[in-house]
Amino acid sequence: MSEPLPPLALPLPSAPLRLAAVQTGAVSGDVAANARHAAALTVRAAGEGAGVVVLPELHLCAYDLPALAAAPGRYAVRADSGRTVTDPRLDPLAEAAAAHDVTVLTGAAVLGADGALTNSLVVCGPSGPPTVAYDKQHLWHADERALFSAGEPGNRGADLTVDGWRLGLGVCYDMSFPEHGRAAALAGAHVYLCPSAFAAGNEHRAAVYLAARALENTVYAVFSNPVGGPPHRPCGGGTAVHGPGGRTVARAATAGEETVLADLDPVELAEVRGLLHMLEECRTASR
């Protein structure tokens, strides 16, 4: 079997891609209402030229872990053994993605065919049913570890491609581990997406983490964070997109609902990678 190509030997995208990072709230436990609202936001973002729409962690049920633990059947969406989501409550979002030729990534609690509950990213694309694209690997402290099963470490590459852009996926706490973003970049990612639910007052950590992940891996990095939430754990936004040189290319202007648009540019990616060679010159054991 031939060795996979190193990331810098893979072709770069041929054209820019407009990405929408959505900063919004969700209704605790109301998957149908949250999916409908996500659909409306998707249609709006598509109207502004977005080809990819990214919603926050656990957006479909809201990040309300005590309520989720008490009623997982209400909060979670079900997936079959092939990772296809079999829940009609997602139909409006799937239909919006198909009608507007957009790829939508949204956070969801997923109940798998094996009975495991995961903190996952569900993708709705231009064709086919919604599927589970990624399961969060690094669970936040005891609260999440008591509730969710962690994703497998092997599922952290860049196996989702949109218009030639290879997307590396993570969820919230995953971004705190440099090895996670590096694995995605070494698998060929041009973008590292981290839908999140950072509690209000902690958004500065995400800004540090993802600017670093972008710079050290010469990728775009995307932070999509909610607003509002349960009184015991509100979120305060801070949604942003960082460029492959570490600069912030787009950031939410408010702490309210907002869609942050960023044009991912293959020319910028090529220029940065022409100057910064960390991916090909790394000599650590993980390389």
pLDDT of 134 reads 96
- Long-range contacts of the stretch 284-287 (C-beta < 8 A, 24+): 286/179, 286/182, 286/183, 287/186
Alpha carbon distance 65, 170 (integer Å): 19
pLDDT digits (tens, 9 = 90+) for 27-82: 999 999 999 999 999 999 999 999 999 999 999 999 999 999 999 999 999 999 99
pLDDT, tens digit, 9 for 90 and up, residues 86-106: 899 999 999 999 999 999 999
Q: What is the residue extent of each domain of the chain?
A: 17-281
Report the pLDDT value the prediction gives residue 8, as an integer from 0 to 100. Answer: 58
Interatomic CA distance for residues 116 and 119, integer angstroms: 10
- pLDDT at residue 282 in the model: 86
Nearest to 121 by CA among 110, 104, 137, 133: 133
CATH number of 17-281: 3.60.110.10
